[in-house]
Amino acid sequence: MPLAFGLGSCYIEPMETLIRYRGKEFTRKDVDFVRQFIAEHPEDSRWSLSRKLCTAWDWVQPNGVLRDMVCRGLMLQMDRAGYIQLPPLRQHNPPPFLRRTRPARTEIDQTPLTGNVADLQPLEFRQVRRTPWEPLFNSLIEEHHYLGYCQPVGEHLKYIVVSKDRPIACLAWSSAPRHIGCRDRFIGWSQAMRKQYLSLMACNTRFLLLPWIQVPCLASHLLGRMARILPCDWERIYNHPLYYLETFVDEERFQGTCYRAAGWLYLGRTTGRGKNDQTHKVNRSIKGVWGKPLAKDFRFHLCGGQI
**CA–CA separation, 127 vs 155, rounded Å?**
13
Based on the domain organization, do 75 and 117 belong to the same domain? no
How, if at all, do strands 244-250 and 156-163 pair? unpaired
CATH code of the domain in which 253 resides: 3.40.630.30
pLDDT tens string 206-227: 999 999 999 999 999 999 999 9
**CA–CA separation, 38 vs 53, rounded Å?**
9
- Domain hosting 116: range is 106-302
* Domain end among 64, 80, 96: 80
pLDDT tens string 223-272: 999 999 999 999 999 999 999 999 999 999 999 999 999 999 999 999 87
Q: Residue 158 pLDDT > 80, yes or no?
A: yes
Based on the domain organization, do 44 and 180 belong to the same domain? no
Q: Residue 98 pLDDT > 60, yes or no?
A: no
In a domain, 2, yes or no: no
pLDDT tens string 262-307: 999 999 999 876 555 455 566 578 899 999 999 999 999 999 887 6
Based on the domain organization, do 46 and 141 belong to the same domain? no
Based on the domain organization, do 281 and 175 belong to the same domain? yes
* Domain end among 36, 64, 80: 80
pLDDT tens string 78-88: 898 888 998 88
pLDDT tens string 256-270: 999 999 999 999 999
| Number of separate domains in the chain | 2
How high does pLDDT run on average in the chain?
88
Based on the domain organization, do 160 and 236 belong to the same domain? yes
Based on the domain organization, do 33 and 167 belong to the same domain? no
CA nearest 291: which of 149, 215, 188, 154? 188
Based on the domain organization, do 147 and 286 belong to the same domain? yes
Residue 60 CB neighbours (<10 A): 14
**CA–CA separation, 154 vs 173, rounded Å?**
11
pLDDT range class, residue 16, cuts 50, 70, 90: confident
**CA–CA separation, 210 vs 219, rounded Å?**
11
pLDDT tens string 173-195: 999 998 899 999 999 999 999 99
